[in-house]
Amino acid sequence: MLILGIESSCDDTAVALVDCSPEGCFVVRESAVSQIDLHKKYGGVVPELAGRAHAEKIVPLIEEVLKNQPRPDVIAVTAGPGLITGLIVGVEAARTLSMVWNVPIVAVNHIWGHSHSVEIQTDRDPDFHRDDNTVTTIEYPALALIVSGGHTELILMNSANEYKKIGATRDDAAGECFDKVAKLLELEYPGGPKISELAKTGRTDAIDFPRPMLKDDNLEFSFSGLKTAALYWLRDNKLAGTVIASDRRERGNLWPTVMGLLRSFTPRNDKPSVNDFCASFEQAIVDVLVGKTLKAAKLYNPKTIILGGGVAANEKLRETLAHESQSIGHELLIPNLKYCMDNAAMIAVAGYYQAQKKEFTDWRILNADPNWEIE
* Residue 179 annotated as part of some ligand binding site: yes
Integer Rg of the chain from CA: 21
With residue 80 as reference, give the H or E element that holds it.
strand 74-80
Q: Please name the amino acid found at residue 2.
A: L
- Is 149 labelled a binding residue? yes
The answer on whether 342 is annotated among ligand-binding residues is yes
Per DSSP, the three-state class of 76 is strand
Residue nearest to ligand KG4 (CB): 310
CA distance 337 to 195: 17
Q: Is 150 annotated as a binding residue?
A: yes
> In angstroms, what is the minimal distance from the CB of 198 to Zn ion?
24
Q: Considering only residues 85-144, where is the footprint of ligand KG4 by CB under 6 A?
A: none
CB of 23 to ligand KG4, least distance (A): 27
Angular region, 31: left φ>0, alpha ψ -120 to 50, beta rest: beta
- Residue 202: C-alpha distances to residues 124, 257, 283, 340 (Å): 40, 19, 11, 25
Contacts to ligand KG4 from residues 194-233, by CB under 6 A: 196
Residues 6+ apart with CB under 8 A from 311: 147, 148, 174, 175, 178, 192, 289, 317, 340
- Cα–Cα distance for residue pair 320/315, rounded to 1 Å: 8
Binding mask 318-347 for ligand KG4 (x = CB under 6 A): -----------------------xx-----
Residue 151 marked as a ligand binder? no
192 binds ligand KG4 (CB under 6 A): yes
Residue 78 found at the interface with Zn ion (CB under 5 A): no
Q: How far is the CB of 365 from ligand KG4 (least distance, A)?
A: 26
CB of 266 to Zn ion, least distance (A): 38
Residues of this chain, 131-190, that bind Zn ion according to CB under 5 A: 148
Q: Binding site annotation covers 243?
A: no
Least CB distance to ligand KG4 at residue 180 (A): 9
Nearest to 210 by CA among 232, 194, 238, 188: 232
Query: What contacts 236, CB < 8 A, 6 or more positions away?
Result: none
Q: Is 12 among the residues that bind Zn ion (CB under 5 A)?
A: no
For residue 149, the minimal CB distance to ligand KG4 (Å) is 3
Distance CA 117, CA 343 (A): 9
Site residues for ligand KG4, 146-185, by CB under 6 A, read 148-150, 175, 178-179
Positions at the binding site: 110, 114, 146-150, 179, 192, 314, 342
Which positions lie near ligand KG4, rule CB under 6 A? 10, 148-150, 175, 178-179, 190-193, 196, 309-311, 313-314, 341-342
